[in-house]
Amino acid sequence: MTTSTKYKYVHLDEKNVLVITGSTIKVVELITSFKTYSQKPEELQKNYPHLSMSQIYSALAYYWDNQAAIDADIEKRSQYAEKLAQEAEEYSLGKEPKAEKNRTNIKLKKKFYVLLTVLTIVLVLAINYLGVPPNRSDFIRPVGHGVITSEFGNRLHPIYRTMKLHKGIDIGYCNGKPVFASADGVVNIASWISGYGNFVEINHSKGVQTAYAHMEKFFVNKNDWVKQGQIIGIVGGTGGVTGPHLHFEVLKHEKFINPRKKVNFPRLGVSF
């Protein structure tokens, strides 16, 4: 590589490594601190007294003209320094070199990971084969088929146009289908309620209640005992609705909770 007289103290060698006559490492530091702290050449010289002013000027001039290559060189050196530091750490503890321990650990981790993956696949296949649903509780869906059309939570009410808590989950496209009791219990309410239309509420154990609204009709009376899966009504569009659907609520100690906490429904908009 030819070195021009302009840069008589610095050049990149054939491996693209920055070289300054008499000192290689220091010029890297110099350029790093020049870049980081924007120090003037005079200030730099105080920190690098072994370099002459002309060496510093030459180094900086060279840097301006070859920034990309020099930055790459500095980056490579710092990575190399980090690697050296890591390797030094690995070998500094205990009798067995740490790198050796790490290799053993990685092998064990890989084996464990493979085992875990195989077990998961076997479990998923078994569940699919046996048809066991991923059930969160003893509560079942109140209709056999439908589409989740609205979630529990705050929303703009489609009729009243105000922000209101939607106290349940809406299941559409199940008009005329039977409504099942989600779990064993005693009927607490079975009547027409303004807004809710034909409405049934069932008391279950542990302070849980389920409620079913907008039904076409219902077949139970207050204080009836109902079994899980018993047909309590037919999906309809009674009360304040924009279209027929089942509005299904779950209460725990008289507070509305997201029905998804009790019953496993598919995602919003997904049919089942």
Q: How many residues interact with Zn ion (rule CB under 5 A)? A: 3
CB of 11 or CB of 247, closer to Zn ion: 247
* 247 sits near Zn ion (criterion: CB under 5 A): yes
* 170 sits near Zn ion (criterion: CB under 5 A): yes
Return the C-alpha torsion angle 118, 124, 128, 131, nearest 10. Answer: 130
Residue 21 and residue 11 in contact, taking contact as beta carbons nearer than 8 Å: no
- Beta strand 197-203 with 255-257 is unpaired
- Tell me how far, at minimum, the Cβ of 147 lies from Zn ion, in Å: 13
Q: Considering only the stretches 45-53, 125-133, 135-143, 239-247, report the one whose residues sit in contact with Zn ion under the rule CB under 5 A.
A: 239-247
Q: Considering only the stretches 26-34, 83-91, 169-177, 197-205, report the one whose residues sit in contact with Zn ion under the rule CB under 5 A.
A: 169-177
Q: How is the chain split among helix, strand and coil, in percent rounded to 5? A: 35, 25, 35
Q: For the packed helices 67-92 and 25-37, what is the interaxial angle rounded to 10 degrees?
A: 110
Site mask for Zn ion (CB under 5 A), range 115-154, x = bound: ----------------------------------------
Evaluated on CA atoms 9, 13, 19, 21, the torsion sign reads negative
* 214 sits near Zn ion (criterion: CB under 5 A): no
Which of positions 32-51 make contact with Zn ion (CB under 5 A)? Answer: none
Binding site for Zn ion (CB under 5 A): 168, 170, 247
